[in-house]
């Protein structure tokens, strides 16, 4: 009996590996899932909680604030200004329980056009347009969110050196569901010293939606400006409007 138990322990990892699809087949499944989700996307309502820290070049905290609100009717083509139904901004020392108009809060005021700029920092969709500009290379089988997953490297294609992103993506080994994405610009413009954006996803109905998203940005122009910005976003209570 003991010998059988030892043999079983040795064989189980091998059997798990044998059940894995080929990385190429899994990638096809994942892309088909993404395309299906986008073609059949229904508007969603959800709550968001965004915590932002702004530091100077010496890592001294300059600003800290929290924005909470409700998004109604979100689609992949939405801008934040179109779908924010409720929004409150709290400064670092403010009581979160206050229930007042946004204009009465002491939090950092929004400047004209700022919401549109924030929308531009959203995670890209791994749609056909994105895939035409990037290549996906299998990296390794690993574990994430308690699941066996395939990790792929994302790089711009050779003729797209100035295009967009590089990083990694994780897909579930059985259904090809999108579980995580971690990206940075493939080529940074002048003044952008560093930028990284990452997300964790979960299935909501037939759609894989981000429930955690973090972003780090460092802007540096000698003598003029040096800022480090950290943003942590949490999304909850997803509801399909259809």
Cβ–Cβ under 8 Å, residues 90 and 68 = yes
Q: What is the model's pLDDT at position 240?
A: 81
In this prediction, residue 236 carries a pLDDT of 93
pTM: predicted TM-score of the whole model, two decimal places: 0.79
At 197 the pLDDT is: 95
pLDDT at residue 145 in the model: 86
Count Cβ atoms below 10 Å from residue 96 Cβ, excluding itself: 8
Q: Is residue 69 part of a domain?
A: yes
The range of the structural domain enclosing residue 133 comes to 23-240
Examine residue 6 and state whether it is found in any structural domain, yes or no.
no
Render pLDDT for 63-116 as a digit per residue (tens, 0 to 9): 999 999 998 888 777 776 667 877 788 776 655 444 444 433 333 444 444 444
**For residue 52, is it within any domain?**
yes
Structural domain count, the chain: 1
What number is the average pLDDT over the span 145-155?
Answer: 94
Q: What is the pLDDT at residue 164?
A: 82
Tokens 């109905």 — which residue?
205
Q: How does the average pLDDT of the chain come out, rounded?
A: 81
Q: Is position 8 within any domain?
A: no
- Note whether residue 193 is domain-resident: yes
pLDDT of 135 strictly over 70: yes
pLDDT of residue 118 exceeding 60: no
Is 1 domain-assigned? no
- Asked if residue 18 belongs to a domain, the reply is no
| 197 assigned to some structural domain | yes
The pLDDT of residue 122? 67
CA distance 228 to 219: 6
How far is residue 99's CA from residue 201's CA, in Å, rounded to a whole number? 31
pLDDT for residue 4 is more than 70: no
Given this model, what pLDDT does residue 64 score? 95
């Amino acid at each position: 009996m003991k010998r059988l138990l030892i043999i079983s322990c040795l064989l189980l990892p091998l059997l798990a590996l044998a059940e894995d699809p080929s990385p190429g087949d899994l990638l096809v499944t994942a892309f088909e899932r993404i395309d299906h989700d986008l073609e059949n996307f229904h508007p969603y309502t959800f709550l968001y909680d965004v915590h932002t820290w702004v530091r100077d070049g010496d890592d001294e905290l300059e600003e800290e604030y929290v924005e909470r609100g409700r998004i109604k009717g979100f689609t992949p083509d939405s801008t934040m200004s179109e779908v924010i139904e409720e929004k409150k901004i709290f400064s670092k020392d403010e009581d979160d329980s206050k229930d007042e108009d946004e204009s009465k809060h002491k939090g950092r005021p929004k400047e004209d056009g700022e919401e549109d700029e924030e929308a531009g920092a959203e995670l890209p969709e791994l749609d056909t347009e994105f895939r035409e500009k990037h290549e996906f290379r299998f990296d390794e089988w690993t574990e994430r969110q308690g699941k066996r997953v395939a990790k792929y490297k994302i790089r711009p294609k050779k003729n797209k050196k100035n295009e967009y992103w590089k990083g990694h993506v994780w897909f579930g080994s059985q259904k090809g569901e999108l579980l995580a994405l971690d990206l940075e610009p493939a080529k940074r413009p002048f003044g952008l010293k560093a930028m990284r954006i990452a997300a964790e996803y979960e299935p909501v109905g037939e759609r894989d939606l981000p429930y955690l998203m973090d972003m780090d940005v460092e802007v540096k122009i000698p003598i003029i400006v040096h800022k480090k910005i950290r943003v942590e976003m949490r999304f909850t209570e997803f509801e399909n409007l259809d």
